[in-house]
Chains A and B, each alone.
Chain A
Amino acid sequence: MISERILFVGHTRREERPYMDPSTRYRCFNIAYSLRELGHITEVVTLSYFLDNIEVANNFKHIVFHRPTLADDRLIQFFEKYRSVKNLIADYDDLIFDVGNILNLPNIMARDPYLVNVSDYISRNAAANQYFEKFSVSTVPLAEKLKSIIPLAQVHVISNSLTKEYVSLSRRIFSLNRKREYKLGYFPGTAIHDNDFEGIAPYLEVFFKNNKNGNLFVLGPLKIPDSLYRYSHRIEHVKDVIPFSHLPYVKANVETILAPLSHNEFAVCKSGLKFFEAMPLGCQVIATAIPDIDRFDSKYLHKCHKPEDWNSLLELKSISKESYEYELDKTLSKVDAISVAKIWEERFL
């Protein structure tokens, strides 16, 4: 394939270091790196850099807008001028363009009781979509959702993916065979997962009651449900989010990672990242079986289709080390960065 020039425009508030925004890292940097390895010329800029230096677009034939939003006239003017000249692609990793569904957003009334900010934000995303014919999205349900809103859209699923250095470091950490201090781990990256976690609190209570040595490590902002307070001495809760660079080492200290999600339309569209980031470290994962989780079949994954399935907390057995490599290959066949970039190449170039 001939070398193409591709620009990724990431939408993040982290102007100085967009790489530190997990969404930009996964949706822009990881893909751009892998496409570069496949021989293309790629760059990543933030949306505000792009708007201030719009001439940067001259150097590129293909431009990916991650979470495009019409918050600035200059972007509208750019789209008007270039929609038929450049190969423009909109990229989504969350359901943030469905105006009709705003009322169903989790915690919406607490976050924005008069629907002022959220409505404005989502409608600006939805409005941006009119300038695109091509879309990349992170999961199948997100693709279906987009198709239902824009039937003529050419939507392709580009999964979140793991870079070779993340995988090889994880494999190396796994090979150290270190003792894991915690039976369970929960890693909420943002402060919106209280309800998700509360949903599994009854099962955790039973787990603590029946496992005198059972302990839980929580990293990130979370309100520990009252019902678990009596087990505080077996719950280590670090509220600050730690740097990405520490995570593989911290996760490798946990036997089983919990990935509960409340059942709603937004959760259904989410990525199965919680599983495939953890598996290379040899962590088992118990996860609500959203479709992007359900596409994996692994000894390391325990899918919960209904709430009672969380009782599997009590039945976890350790996995023989012999099956690790086989399971890792199986996982990577779906999320290896180069394979995902090849799919991107086929669909969009």
Chain B
Amino acid sequence: MKKVLFYVEPHPIRNLFTEFITPAEIFIDAALHDNFSGIEWRMFSNDFLLNLITEKHLMRFQDVLSTEKDLEGRVIDEEDEDEVEFKLNTVLRGFKENLIYPEEEDSVKIHSFLSEWNENQIILRNDLVAGIGEITEYYEQLLEKIYQDYKFTHVVLWSENGAVRNFCENFNIQPIHMELGPTRRPFQDTILIDTSGTNGNASFCKEDISNKKFCVASSLWASDLFNDDYASVHEMFLTPAGPISAVNAHGSLSLLTGTELEDDIRAEINRQAEFVDNYVVICLQLADDLNTLNHSHYSDPKHFLSEIIPKLIGLGYKVLIKRHPGARGRIFNLIKENEAIDFAIKISKNVYVLNAETSQRDFILLTKNAIAVISINSSVSCESWIVGVPGLITGKAAYDIKDKLQKLTSDFLNGGNLIKDKKYLDEIRDVIGYGLNNYFIPRSSYVISSSLAKVINDFDKKDNRSFANWFDENVDIFKIIGDEKAAGFDREIKLNSKHHRTSEINFDNLVNFAIPNEGFYFCEILDFNDSNQLTIKGCIAISKVIPVEVFIEYDNDIFLGEIIENDDVHNGNSKPKEEKVFIIRACSEEQILPLNDFNIYIYGSDNICRYIRVIK
């Protein structure tokens, strides 16, 4: 049996012990899914994170219980509360068995690493990622300790970690890296799974896709065809953009963007807001982001802007800078971002900085008329290809095969014409399309659990193929989505039909094994007519057991009755309300012979079929 250790970064990052809670939730969703059955798993992290994930899990389980009750229309009483508590305790015990807490002395040690998040701490964290230094040695030894008690075959981790890499090499264990993919909401969210690494280390970057085929147009990832519970890019893209707030060297202003407007329209717009065209959008990433620090040559956002803005301004473009939405909540990053912005704004009056609260919709509308979108290696540069705008990168990204995109970026920043080379642009679009079809997977627990289980069970590192190649040949994303939709729809059908499906009932069996009613249901025939077509109307008083199906058998055929929820058949004021009225009709092209005596079968919610003999 395969044994997995989900290694959730225990080291304090950005002054927090729980910075990796989202990856932990993604791992837990996958591990608890039916698709993961047959694989043993444990999760290791620091005690804060493990306690938080436990609490989140229990809260979710509580929600499931109350949803189930709502669906059943049950009122929670005291007895239920005891039952709920019992269930929660059982779930808690089961869940905790999968968690590996650090021993007390290790907890103390991990806690001692908490120190103000600054350049020094970032260097230490980068040493950990690179697999050097004392901290790396400490976490390696911690992994060895875990391994003594739990002989895992795979380690699943978020992004990259040198201690895990060193340990896996020494003990011949398979690491599996996961990371957010290059499309995020309101695009279809994606996830990356790779045994080689993430970003520039992902196996996809080295693929040769010249002979590969892919089928589905990338624009699908901008639409609602996977999921429609959020407004997709397709919906936003064609809506009109209003003026948005920004600042430039002259202070705050409203701006509207567009292309090639006629003079009178431009003049009209300039009355309401500053009109900006011929522009490039720059998206900032976090100063301490591992993806930018380890996969580009920039030390911080200011370094990045100082390199590219003078070139863009020199080429005659206007520049719109988008801040990173996560910087405001992370003080180190906010300071670094402000430094970069203060610097950039002084370069030219043609540098505009968008308000930090700019909505996703406004941002998407802003990019649609841009000459290009540039980032170090952010997902926005991938997403913009999907809506038809070149997304450029100055660092290494998982979606850039053989640095083609970096080459385009460099050419563009130096005034080259490669950005007008349709063939070259099409090749990049093909890379993005191929990646979305065959490598980056939609972010749903069904797809993630199924794909991850496949990698754990079947990927063999001795395989000569690259991981990306193996994944393409062994994991069919669309088949899994099809399975997921089918399972979801099946569930909906079951809920729709109140927990049973008529089509799944074997009526012949019910007839063969039916037992006499013997007063179990109180049933009354209200109307009987077999003169032309057979019609039987009746009612059944409801006890604890609810009639699910009422039917008769005639000439080896089953005639199902229609059970009517609302009493619209008879005006029976004298009848109690808690009853089901049914009508059985047998209208066929064939002559229905008059019935003298027959059985009415009642199949109840207790899964027992009872019959009542009716003598005319």
Assess whether B558 is in contact with A245, with CB atoms less than 8 Å apart: no
Residues of B within 8 A of A41 (CB): 258-259
- B137 adjacent to chain A (CB < 8 Å): no
Given A168-B220, A240-B496, A253-B486, verify A173-B238 contact (CB < 8 Å).
no
Residues of A within 8 A of B423 (CB): none
Residues of B within 8 A of A175 (CB): 215
User: Max chain B CB contacts within 10 Å: which of A37, A234, A236?
Assistant: A236
**Chain A residue at minimal CB-CB distance from B477:** A172
Assess whether B489 is in contact with A43, with CB atoms less than 8 Å apart: no
Given A32-B238, A178-B482, A215-B503, verify A244-B587 contact (CB < 8 Å).
no
Stretch touching chain A among B79-87, B225-233, B463-471, B606-614: B225-233
Query: How far apart are the CA atoms of A47 and B234 in the complex, in Å?
Result: 19
B362 to chain A, nearest CB (A): 14
**Chain B residue at minimal CB-CB distance from A32:** B238
Assess whether B585 is in contact with A229, with CB atoms less than 8 Å apart: yes
Query: How far apart are the CA atoms of A165 and B220 in the complex, in Å?
Result: 5
Assess whether B496 is in contact with A238, with CB atoms less than 8 Å apart: yes
B222 to chain A, nearest CB (A): 8
- A249 adjacent to chain B (CB < 8 Å): yes
Residues of B within 8 A of A253 (CB): 486
**Chain A residue at minimal CB-CB distance from B236:** A19
Assess whether B224 is in contact with A236, with CB atoms less than 8 Å apart: no
Assess whether B238 is in contact with A169, with CB atoms less than 8 Å apart: no
Residues of A within 8 A of B427 (CB): none
**Chain B residue at minimal CB-CB distance from A215:** B503
Given A29-B238, A233-B505, A250-B485, verify A171-B562 contact (CB < 8 Å).
no
A27 to chain B, nearest CB (A): 13
Given A45-B239, A166-B225, A230-B586, verify A172-B489 contact (CB < 8 Å).
no
Assess whether A236 is in contact with B489, with CB atoms less than 8 Å apart: no
User: Max chain A CB contacts within 10 Å: which of B217, B258, B492?
Assistant: B217
Contact size class for B?
Answer: 35 or more
- A115 adjacent to chain B (CB < 8 Å): no
Identify which of residues 62-96 in chain A touch chain B, using a CB-to-CB cut-off of 8 Å.
Answer: none
Assess whether A233 is in contact with B493, with CB atoms less than 8 Å apart: no
- B97 adjacent to chain A (CB < 8 Å): no
- B574 adjacent to chain A (CB < 8 Å): no
- B65 adjacent to chain A (CB < 8 Å): no
Query: How far apart are the CA atoms of A248 and B219 in the complex, in Å?
Result: 16
User: Max chain A CB contacts within 10 Å: which of B227, B240, B259, B265?
Assistant: B240
Residues of A within 8 A of B587 (CB): 226-227, 230
A344 to chain B, nearest CB (A): 15
Q: Report which of B215, B226, B502, B588 forms a contact with A232, defined as CB distance below 8 A.
A: B502
- B55 adjacent to chain A (CB < 8 Å): no
- A320 adjacent to chain B (CB < 8 Å): no
- B557 adjacent to chain A (CB < 8 Å): yes
Binary flags per residue of B249-292, CB closer than 8 Å to A gives 1, else 0: 00000000011110001001100000000000000000000000
Given A17-B231, A233-B505, A239-B496, verify A165-B559 contact (CB < 8 Å).
no
Assess whether B478 is in contact with A233, with CB atoms less than 8 Å apart: no
**Chain B residue at minimal CB-CB distance from A56:** B240
Q: Report which of B476, B501, B558, B589 forms a contact with A176, defined as CB distance below 8 A.
A: B476
Residues of A within 8 A of B557 (CB): 230
- A42 adjacent to chain B (CB < 8 Å): yes
Binary flags per residue of B200-239, CB closer than 8 Å to A gives 1, else 0: 0000000000000001110110011111100110110111
Assess whether A168 is in contact with B265, with CB atoms less than 8 Å apart: no
A168 to chain B, nearest CB (A): 5
Query: How far apart are the CA atoms of A166 and B259 in the complex, in Å?
Result: 29
Residues of A within 8 A of B36 (CB): none
Assess whether B482 is in contact with A58, with CB atoms less than 8 Å apart: no
Assess whether B562 is in contact with A229, with CB atoms less than 8 Å apart: yes
B554 to chain A, nearest CB (A): 10
Assess whether A33 is in contact with B560, with CB atoms less than 8 Å apart: no
Query: How far apart are the CA atoms of A146 and B260 in the complex, in Å?
Result: 37
Given A205-B589, A238-B496, A240-B496, verify A245-B560 contact (CB < 8 Å).
no
Residues of B within 8 A of A178 (CB): 479, 482
Residues of A within 8 A of B268 (CB): 58
**Chain B residue at minimal CB-CB distance from A3:** B260
Assess whether A244 is in contact with B224, with CB atoms less than 8 Å apart: yes
- A317 adjacent to chain B (CB < 8 Å): no
- A319 adjacent to chain B (CB < 8 Å): no
A contact patch SS: helix
Residues of A within 8 A of B476 (CB): 176
A251 to chain B, nearest CB (A): 11
Residues of A within 8 A of B488 (CB): 246
Residues of B within 8 A of A173 (CB): 478, 482
Given A3-B260, A59-B265, A233-B558, verify A169-B225 contact (CB < 8 Å).
yes
Assess whether A58 is in contact with B507, with CB atoms less than 8 Å apart: no
Given A20-B228, A176-B476, A226-B585, verify A33-B496 contact (CB < 8 Å).
no
Residues of B within 8 A of A227 (CB): 587-588
Q: Report which of B219, B228, B265, B485 forms a contact with A244, defined as CB distance below 8 A.
A: B228
Residues of A within 8 A of B224 (CB): 19, 243-245
Identify which of residues 131-188 in chain A touch chain B, using a CB-to-CB cut-off of 8 Å.
Answer: 163-166, 168-169, 171-173, 175-176, 178
- A44 adjacent to chain B (CB < 8 Å): yes
Residues of A within 8 A of B258 (CB): 41
Query: How far apart are the CA atoms of A171 and B216 in the complex, in Å?
Result: 8
User: Max chain B CB contacts within 10 Å: which of A8, A17, A172?
Assistant: A172
Query: How far apart are the CA atoms of A232 and B501 in the complex, in Å?
Result: 10
Identify which of residues 241-283 in chain A touch chain B, using a CB-to-CB cut-off of 8 Å.
Answer: 242-246, 248-250, 252-253
Residues of A within 8 A of B485 (CB): 246, 249-250
Q: Report which of A3, A42, A45, A250 forms a contact with B489, defined as CB distance below 8 A.
A: A250
Residues of B within 8 A of A168 (CB): 215-217, 220
Assess whether B238 is in contact with A165, with CB atoms less than 8 Å apart: no
Given A230-B586, A232-B560, verify A164-B219 contact (CB < 8 Å).
yes
Assess whether A249 is in contact with B486, with CB atoms less than 8 Å apart: yes
Binary flags per residue of A14-41, CB closer than 8 Å to B gives 1, else 0: 0001111000000001001100110001
Query: How far apart are the CA atoms of A37 and B228 in the complex, in Å?
Result: 24
User: Max chain B CB contacts within 10 Å: which of A56, A163, A238, A245?
Assistant: A245
Assess whether A233 is in contact with B589, with CB atoms less than 8 Å apart: no
Given A229-B585, A230-B557, verify A245-B228 contact (CB < 8 Å).
yes
Assess whether B501 is in contact with A236, with CB atoms less than 8 Å apart: yes
A165 to chain B, nearest CB (A): 4
A188 to chain B, nearest CB (A): 16
Residues of B within 8 A of A42 (CB): 238
User: Max chain A CB contacts within 10 Å: which of B228, B476, B488, B586?
Assistant: B228
Query: How far apart are the CA atoms of A3 and B260 in the complex, in Å?
Result: 9
Assess whether A169 is in contact with B220, with CB atoms less than 8 Å apart: yes
14 more contacts with CB within 8 A, not counting A165-B219, A166-B225, A233-B558, are A19-B232, A29-B234, A43-B239, A43-B240, A45-B239, A169-B478, A173-B482, A176-B478, A230-B559, A230-B588, A238-B492, A244-B224, A244-B225, A245-B228
| Sample of 30 A–B contacts (CB below 8 Å) | A17-B231, A17-B235, A19-B234, A19-B235, A20-B228, A29-B238, A33-B237, A37-B388, A42-B238, A44-B239, A45-B240, A163-B219, A164-B217, A165-B220, A165-B223, A169-B225, A169-B478, A176-B482, A229-B585, A230-B558, A230-B586, A232-B502, A233-B503, A233-B507, A235-B503, A243-B224, A245-B224, A245-B225, A246-B488, A248-B225
10 smallest A-B Cβ distances: which pairs? A249-B485, A19-B235, A165-B220, A243-B228, A44-B238, A245-B228, A168-B216, A232-B560, A165-B217, A165-B219
